[in-house]
């Protein structure tokens, strides 16, 4: 087990084999090809962000999973803020949840950032 979070009051576990398990529903989602290395609740509890060996940053909600970013290297750290910015891994990648310029798009890679 990589982590356990409460998503909408339901315990959700991320596993080293790439699965996310909704414990209350006893439902499993195949989220990553390989280990899940990190996880964090998305803004306002809207889903679970996860990063894995497969280089993907994924967002899993009750109704499904979507890939936010596909990189060439593993993602071993992820965080989220109310403003909707997500970042992950050795290099920092910023995503805006809502914007008049972009929506859910990768803004640009950076070596560091402050929130």
Contact 68, 86 (CB under 8 A): yes
Distances (CA, A) of 12 to 41, 94, 110: 10, 25, 31
Q: Which domains does the chain have, with CATH numbers?
A: 3-110 (2.130.10.10)
pLDDT in tens, the chain (115 residues): 999 999 888 999 999 999 999 999 889 999 999 999 999 988 767 799 999 999 998 999 888 888 878 888 888 888 777 655 555 555 666 666 554 333 444 444 444 433 3
pTM: 0.74
């Amino acid at each position: 087990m990589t982590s356990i979070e409460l998503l909408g009051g339901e315990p959700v576990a991320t596993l080293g084999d790439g699965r996310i398990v909704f414990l209350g529903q006893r439902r499993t989602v195949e989220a990553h090809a390989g280990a899940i290395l990190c996880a964090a609740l998305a803004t306002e509890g809207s889903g679970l962000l996860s990063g894995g060996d497969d280089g993907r940053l994924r967002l899993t909600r009750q109704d499904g999973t979507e890939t936010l970013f596909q990189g060439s290297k593993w993602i071993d750290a992820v965080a989220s803020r109310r403003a909707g910015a997500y970042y992950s891994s050795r290099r920092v990648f910023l995503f805006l949840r809502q914007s008049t310029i972009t929506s859910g798009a990768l803004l640009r890679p950076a070596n560091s950032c402050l929130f």
